[in-house]
Amino acid sequence: MNVHDWALIAFTILVQMSIGSLWVLLLAHLFAARKYSVEAADRLSDRALYALIPVIALGFLASLLHLGNPFSAYRAVTNLGTSWLSREILFGVIFAILATVYAFMQWRKIGSVGLRNIIGWLAAIDGLVMVYCMSNVYMLASQPAWNTWATPISFYAATFLLGALAMGAAFVANYTYLQRKEPGCADEQCTLMRETLRWVALAAVILLGVELVVLPIYLVALASGSATGLASVKLMAGSFGWMLALRVLLAFLGAGVFGLFLYQNAMSAGKEKMVGSMAYLAFIVVLAAEVLGRVLFYVSHVRIGI
């Protein structure tokens, strides 16, 4: 592992998490606006939205660290015709700009609610295109461990899993903040937090299921596909076997065990404190699992040839 790999791990995880977060945030906002009011929805999601912008910025800063010549990074969008990397950066930059504009408009309440929502959803949809491009960056003919359908599936799964749990934690933090500022004010917000947490937990459990189904199929297909693929599997199961095991264990604990607990207890009155702690814990544990999974992704690829 060197600094370049860490830069890419940070970049892909942070940006995917931001894209997933924006989706969950917009869905929660939509749900809250329908159920109560746009004001209530803004109170639920605005602070989380402001927190998202530095995360996106950090992700892109990290991406610069893997360049030999970071000051010329702007040139990375000059081969859109054939390079998926160019396309990834283009859609990534558009995502960052739209998300920032959306956050700024929400902050200053510029423009109509409809216009703001359109900007937000455009950012979210652009984000999904970016994850698609990002998957294609790795699907190279000479990289059997990456050149499979498992790459886009696991990227999208990471996007929504991290996004869901990050927003779960953010909504808990937001509610805690609101309560401290004006105790007793937040009945409406309390219900919103509970219901969104329930959905977040359900999404986490389903996405964990996807990851757990994809992983063994991927490993078997890779091992039986080519000698180079087998070499990758031997790395993942051999010298990095502990990492793979820990990654699965943490994902199971965070999204499965804690997720199920959240799903069952989110609505129970009087358990807000415990549910909140569990939401934080689930996010941290799943973030660790996904980072380990991404480390594994970068250390276990074996290129065909010499």
Partner 1 sequence: MDKQLGFYVDIASCTGCKACQVACKDKNNLPVGIRWRKVFQYEGGEWIRQQDGQMIPSSVYAYSVSSACAHCENPVCAQVCPTAAISKRADGIVLIDAEKCIGCRYCSWACPYGAPQFDEDAGVMTKCNMCYDLVDKGENPACVEACPYRAMDFGPISELRQKYGDFADPAPLPDPSITKPSVIYNPNRVTKSSKQADGHMVNLEEL
Where do contacts with partner 1 occur on this chain (CB under 8 A)?
4, 66-70, 72-73, 75-79, 82-86, 89, 137, 140-143, 227, 301, 303-306
Determine the Cα–Cα distance for residues 269 and 177; give it in Å rounded to an integer: 19
DSSP 240: T
Determine the Cα–Cα distance for residues 56 and 239; give it in Å rounded to an integer: 33
Q: Quickly list DSSP for 78-91.
A: S-TTT-HHHHHHHH
Is residue 99 within 8 Å of residue 56, measured between CB atoms?
yes
Helix-strand-coil split of the chain, %, nearest 5: 85, 0, 15
Determine the Cα–Cα distance for residues 88 and 26; give it in Å rounded to an integer: 23
Q: Distance of CA 129 to CAs 10, 59, 84, 195, Å? A: 19, 17, 11, 29
Determine the Cα–Cα distance for residues 106 and 168; give it in Å rounded to an integer: 20
- End-to-end Cα spacing for the chain: 20
Closer to partner 1 at the Cβ: 11 or 199?
11
At closest approach, how far in Å is the CB of 10 from partner 1?
A: 15
At closest approach, how far in Å is the CB of 131 from partner 1?
A: 17
Closer to partner 1 at the Cβ: 72 or 183?
72
At closest approach, how far in Å is the CB of 154 from partner 1?
A: 18
Listed residue (40, 77, 276, 285) closest to 173, CA to CA: 276
Listed residue (280, 237, 238) closest to 258, CA to CA: 280
Determine the Cα–Cα distance for residues 41 and 289; give it in Å rounded to an integer: 31
Token pair 């990289």 is found at 143
